[in-house]
């Protein structure tokens, strides 16, 4: 009987390590989530107040892109731009829409000839984008997030 109790006691003390569970910390969970998180897509695209009546997120996205393109095109076409050489350039405007729906222009890239012929080109883009109606930020997992866009604008002045 002594041997049976001794064997049971020995087994119970040595087998406890088999029942140990790995402790999962919140840091481990966050690290694992960050690896599977798709940073390039949002659940809901940013949209402009004039696009509220669009039913699907695809329609809101198209309305957003169309409204921004139309706003910039209209603003630039209303400006009197006088040049001494023909301009045919694709200007890349990089801007961010913050979590609060505020536009922040990060960069405006154009060739040196365009900048020399139209020195106020940056201000024209800034003024055009700031005349947009209210913008609602993108949504990712129920949170408002900032999004970055690159808007290519073809400028032809003769």
Distance, C-alpha 52 to centroid of its chain? 20
Whether the pLDDT of residue 74 is over 80: the answer is yes
Looking at per-residue pLDDT, the higher value among 11 and 16 belongs to 11
**Spacing of C-alpha 78 from chain mean position:** 30
Residue 27 C-alpha from the chain's centroid: 25
Give the mean model confidence (pLDDT) for residues 70-79: 86
Backbone angles phi, psi at 65, to 5 degrees: -65, -40
**Residue 2 half-sphere exposure, CB side, CA atoms within 13 Å?**
0
What percent of the chain shows pLDDT beyond 90? 18
Residue 107 above 70 pLDDT?
Answer: yes
Instruction: Output phi, psi for 114, to 5 deg.
Output: -65, -45
**Token pair in block for residue 103:** 């536009």
Mean pLDDT along residues 41-62: 80
The tokens for 110 are: 């154009």
């Amino acid at each position: 009987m002594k041997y049976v109790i001794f064997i049971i006691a020995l087994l119970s003390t040595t087998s406890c390590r088999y029942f140990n569970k790995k402790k999962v910390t919140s840091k481990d969970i966050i690290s694992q989530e960050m690896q599977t998180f798709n940073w390039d897509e949002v659940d809901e695209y940013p949209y402009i107040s004039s696009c509220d009546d669009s039913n699907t997120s695809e329609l809101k996205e198209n309305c957003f892109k169309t409204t921004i393109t139309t706003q910039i095109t209209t603003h630039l076409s209303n400006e009197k731009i006088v040049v001494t050489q023909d301009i045919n350039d694709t200007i890349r405007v990089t801007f961010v829409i913050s979590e609060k729906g505020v536009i922040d222009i990060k960069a405006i890239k154009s060739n040196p000839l365009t900048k020399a012929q139209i020195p106020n080109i940056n201000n024209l883009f800034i003024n055009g984008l700031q005349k947009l109606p209210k913008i609602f930020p993108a949504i990712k997992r129920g949170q408002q997030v900032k999004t970055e866009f690159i808007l290519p604008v073809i400028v032809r002045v003769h």
